[in-house]
Structure 1
Amino acid sequence: MQRSVLQAGRSAQHQTRASGSSRRPFSSARLLQNVVCNAAATPANGNGANGAHSKPGSKQVAKYPSPAQTIRTLVDISSEGTLCTVGAGGQPVGIPVTFTTDKQGQVHIHLDRAMVEMANLASNPAISLMVQATAQPARSVGAVTLMGHVSLPSDASEPVPLAVEKCLYFGGLDLNNRGQEVSAADVAAAEPDVLRKAAAELVHNWNSERAEDIYRIVSAFQGVPLTEMSYAELLWVDYLGMYIRTEINGREPEVVRVPFYRPVLDERDARSVITMASQIAWEADRAYTPPLPAIFADAAANN
């Protein structure tokens, strides 16, 4: 029965991708939550592991990256945006531009000196740059508007550095944040996500080759029998957890956040943690206790 449910869900998942559209108690739940998301003290990995959505001084690992971290990630994985300058009479003008970032996260905008925005900037250096990833799955993560000013360099061939004064963060998958103002200092102090370059491939691989893992993880995390899961799709992975779109029989579709039990360090570490979560859900579903390897069994007997 479970296999037929998983096969039906995977079939629907493939049909959804082909059409280009998006679809919006169980004993293993507590065990999986203990291993996947309920963290003890864990050293920070350079991404503010104990910061986002945690009380100051708390040793519990955050469940979400902070808005500042996500802003750094979005800017780092993007190279296009919409630049808005102030034209004659105070009329705002938006144009598409490309940009690059340096190792410190400084944004450098590439401008055509013959375009109308140059005249606007000469009279008013205030600008905003709206950034959102151009392709899925990164596009669904969120968007940010960087607000500040520029100083035009004397060399017309040089990109223009953007002095950011504040940011507006629009969470996509993180529904808790809609138009939240974030200071430039917080963004400058944050680091982009360690999985930002690998997340799209992780999402593709798990959905296309290991969809059963995603079904098992989210069903166990929500405390719902696998037979009641009609659809599950991994949407995004960051160093603190996963977003999964799920449909449970008789319920409205929803996006579920499944936190990791500790921050992951790199792509390989993320693969390990997700695989472990799926294995734990599988074992709990079958009330399976793996035998103790001989080397440990012998040591236990001797003690």
Structure 2
Amino acid sequence: MQRSALPAGRVQQHQLRACSSSRRPQPFTSARPSSVTVCNAAASLNGNGNGNGNGVHSNGSKAPAAAKCPSPAQTIRTLVDIVNEGTLCTIGSSGHPVGIPVTFSTDKQGHLHLHLDRTALEMANLGGSSTACSLTVQPITQPARAVAAVTLLGKVEVPVDAAATVPLHVEKCLYFGGLDQANKGQEVSGEEFASAEPDVLRKAAPELVNNWNGERAEDIYRIVSDFQGVPLTEMSYAELLWVDYLGMYIRTEVNGAEPLVVRVPFYRPVLDERDARSVITMAAQIAWERERSYTPPIPSIFADAANN
């Protein structure tokens, strides 16, 4: 099935801009879009995912709405899993908060362990009357830096020996959505954080983003064009920003208008990187067929049966 390609100038513009954004780190605030369109959960492809596409179970009851994007708790777990450094804030002897860069690790249960020098200032602060502290985590590399930022508030368990790792018991989190502007500034409990699962695509997302922007930009243009109901010829620019198990964020410009970040859902949750590649490819194919008003030919065996 032959697809028409995007104009050469459009593809070259996309490649230059995508290359520039990946090589030149920008402040976190610049990654926050001026506007975000949040999707309905893949209604155009499979209704609500209950098999009949009409939003009603066979017993007549309404089906629960499908998730539109990962919850703040899930995104926080994803962030602390893919990032290993942040800013630890403790209270000094003068009573003033002191922020110090630190590294940390996360075990399989999601417990955080700070890597601290026994003789460092933060250890002296935590060894006093208060073990309360906060840890701010924000990706600094492309493309993950656009996802979100979080401040974890809790207390540390100061070891009696010279152990290099110090457990951080998270009591609550302050979630600052990057692409997820709908939940910006939301408070998440320590229990929600502990029970959430990190995204299955957290390790693969950067490669998926780079692959589609660098080699399959036409797919991204078609997907977001179809999702917005905008003719492909009116798309000035489209760039994949991030992928998670429920969908993807795409920055788009239509006829030179103000850039917009659109949340495009998958028609179902994906299981792994291979599954994500398949679902994104399918979305591009469906967009192409809609653009062409394409109707697949009926196999001859069924056509013969109909004639008889």
Shift in Å, 1:17: 3.5
- Between 2-11 and 257-266, report the one with greater CA deviation: 2-11
Note the alpha carbon deviations across 1:42-95, whole angstroms, 9 max, x for none: 8xxxxxxxxxxxxxx853321111000000000111100100010012111111
What is the alpha-carbon distance in structure 2 between the residues aligned to residue 12 and residue 158 of structure 1? 49
What is the alpha-carbon distance in structure 1 between the residues aligned to residue 98 and residue 304 of structure 2? 73
Alignment of 1:82-93 (within 5 A): 82-93=87-98
Query: SS of the counterpart of 1:109?
Result: strand
Note the alpha carbon deviations across 1:188-211, whole angstroms, 9 max, x for none: 111000111110100010011100
Shift in Å, 1:16: 1.8
Q: Report the AA paired with residue 217 of structure 1.
A: I
- Aligned residue number for residue 246 of structure 1: 252
Shift in Å, 1:226: 0.4
- Aligned residue number for residue 58 of structure 2: none
CA contact (8 A) 1:8 1:230 kept: no
- Aligned residue number for residue 282 of structure 2: 276
- Specify whether residues 199 and 293 from structure 1 end up closer, same or farther in structure 2 by C-alpha distance, changes over 3 A only: farther
What is the alpha-carbon distance in structure 1 between the residues aligned to residue 117 and residue 303 of structure 2? 73
RMSD: 2.5
Gaps of 5+ in 1: 25-31, 43-56
CA contact (8 A) 1:39 1:60 kept: yes
- Aligned residue number for residue 142 of structure 2: 136
Size of the alignment, in residue pairs? 280
Shift in Å, 1:167: 0.2
Query: SS of the counterpart of 2:127?
Result: helix
Shift in Å, 1:252: 1.4
Select the residue among 205, 214, 221 that pairs with 2:227: 221
Query: SS of the counterpart of 1:187?
Result: helix
- Specify whether residues 181 and 91 from structure 1 end up closer, same or farther in structure 2 by C-alpha distance, changes over 3 A only: same
- Specify whether residues 162 and 235 from structure 1 end up closer, same or farther in structure 2 by C-alpha distance, changes over 3 A only: same
Q: Report the AA paired with residue 140 of structure 1.
A: A
What is the alpha-carbon distance in structure 2 between the residues aligned to residue 260 and residue 13 of structure 1? 23
CA contact (8 A) 1:6 1:215 kept: no
- Specify whether residues 121 and 247 from structure 1 end up closer, same or farther in structure 2 by C-alpha distance, changes over 3 A only: same
Runs of 4+ in structure 1 off by over 6 angstroms are none
CA contact (8 A) 2:18 2:239 kept: no
Highest RCO, 1 vs 2 (Cα 8 Å, sep ≥ 6): 1
TM-score normalized with structure 1 length: 0.85
Q: Does 1:39 align with 2:48?
A: yes
Alignment of 1:118-129 (within 5 A): 118-123=123-128, 124-129=130-135
